[in-house]
Amino acid sequence: MEENAAAVCANARRTGLMEMGHEKGRVMEKKDLTRRDVLRMVTATSGVLLAESTPLRSEAAGPKKRVHIAGNQYPWFTYYRREKRDFSATRDESLAEVAKSGLDGFEPGVQSADSITKIAPLLKRHGLQMRSIYVGSVLHEPDQAEKSIREMLAIAEKAKSFGTEIIVTNPSPIRWGGQAVKTDEQLVFQAKTLDRLGAELRRRGLTLAYHNHDIELRNAAREFHHMLLATDPAHLSLCLDCHWIYRGSGNSNVALFDVLKLYGSRIVELHVRQSRDGIWTEVFSEGDIDYPAIVRYLKQIRVIPHVVLEQAVEKGTPHTMDGLAAHRRSIEYARKVFAPFAR
């Protein structure tokens, strides 16, 4: 900068361009100009030139980041069923509609490694990522648990080759839709099995995420809590299904936010669904659950989860549009609510 000032000063003396300067309202003749005066003038001039030549930050920053929103297959089944259609019968056409809705990804329910081989190319064709998959398991009985572990590891290895990072599992209850609950011995065995499975998946570079429905919240939520308290957080993460926690605890936001406070640091994925007065809404929007508050809390503890839309229909849900239109509106709202999770 000093060399620049000297050069400018010398040039000014040669050309007579620096005839006058202004400082504190006083006119300065050429002879009054000092090295310090010139240095100030050069600095100011450089700032102007820099401002003129450097693009605004918003222009240079590139495209704005957008939160990734995936969709689970279950909601699509419910909309299709309501419309007397079969999602699985024409899987390629169905996934084309999923892509048309604006979703960025798709979380399929997977039963075997072969099913990954079939669906992954279709998802790629339609521009849908498969960051997570949902895999059923039976982990409370020793003989069935070993079979589940073998199948899940085979599925996970195949899915990883297609970009999957999270394996979501909901250990099966004694009977789906039934009232029977697992014994303490079964819960202890199931937690140990989940931990072991999670450790195996971690060694393969994958994350195991525990998922629940409402049955795990019966009897003081002993199954839900034990799965998380009796496992290593390094081996088992949480796929927080917000509405199943809400519904399973008697439509309680208090219980939902208590779960956030207890296990928030273990959340790697959110399943999101909305209701009004306890009934699933046709479109994901404002309702019983305060999703903006959930986002604020997770941001506060520096947790950025994978977001999976699970807005579905049930008895009592309004019927004013088809599944495609409903998903489009749901995604539009979801992008606003979960925008802080963009990365």
22-43, pLDDT tens digit by residue? 333 333 333 344 444 433 443 4
Give the domain-ending residue among 42, 60, 78.
Answer: 60
Q: Are 270 and 297 in contact (CB under 8 A)?
A: no
Pair type for strands 20-23 and 26-29: antiparallel
Q: In the predicted model, is pLDDT for residue 46 greater than 70?
A: no
Q: Does 155 lie in the same domain as 223?
A: yes
Q: Does 129 lie in the same domain as 19?
A: no
Q: Does 241 lie in the same domain as 190?
A: yes
**Mean pLDDT, the chain, whole residue set:** 87
> How many Å apart are CA 9 and CA 111, to the nearest integer?
80
Q: Does 325 lie in the same domain as 274?
A: yes
Stretch (H or E) spanning 166: strand 166-171
Q: Does 77 lie in the same domain as 35?
A: no
Q: Does 306 lie in the same domain as 287?
A: yes
Split into its structural domains, the chain has a count of 2
State the CATH number of the domain containing residue 88. 3.20.20.150
Q: In the predicted model, is pLDDT for residue 171 greater than 60?
A: yes
Q: In the predicted model, is pLDDT for residue 293 greater than 80?
A: yes
* Range list of β-strands (E), 19-162: 20-23, 26-29, 69-72, 105-107, 109-110, 132-137
Q: Does 178 lie in the same domain as 259?
A: yes
Average pLDDT on 5-16 reads 43
Q: In the predicted model, is pLDDT for residue 81 greater than 80?
A: yes
Residue 16, pLDDT score: 42
Q: Does 273 lie in the same domain as 124?
A: yes
pLDDT band at 64 (very low <50, low <70, confident <90, very high): confident
Average pLDDT on 179-202 reads 97
Give the domain-ending residue among 17, 32, 60.
Answer: 60
Residue 218, pLDDT score: 96
Q: What percent of the chain has pLDDT over 90?
A: 80
Give the domain-ending residue among 15, 37, 60.
Answer: 60
Q: What is the pTM of this model?
A: 0.82
Residue 56, pLDDT score: 34
Q: In the predicted model, is pLDDT for residue 337 greater than 70?
A: yes
Q: Are 272 and 308 in contact (CB under 8 A)?
A: yes
Structural domain containing residue 49: 2-60
Residue 297, pLDDT score: 98
Average pLDDT on 131-148 reads 96
Q: Side chain identity at 203, as an amino acid letter?
A: R
Q: Does 134 lie in the same domain as 54?
A: no
**β-sheet bridge partners, residue 75:** none
Q: Does 84 lie in the same domain as 52?
A: no
Q: Does 154 lie in the same domain as 303?
A: yes
Q: Does 49 lie in the same domain as 116?
A: no
Lowest-pLDDT choice from 49-58, 152-161, 213-222 = 49-58
Stretch (H or E) spanning 330: helix 323-337
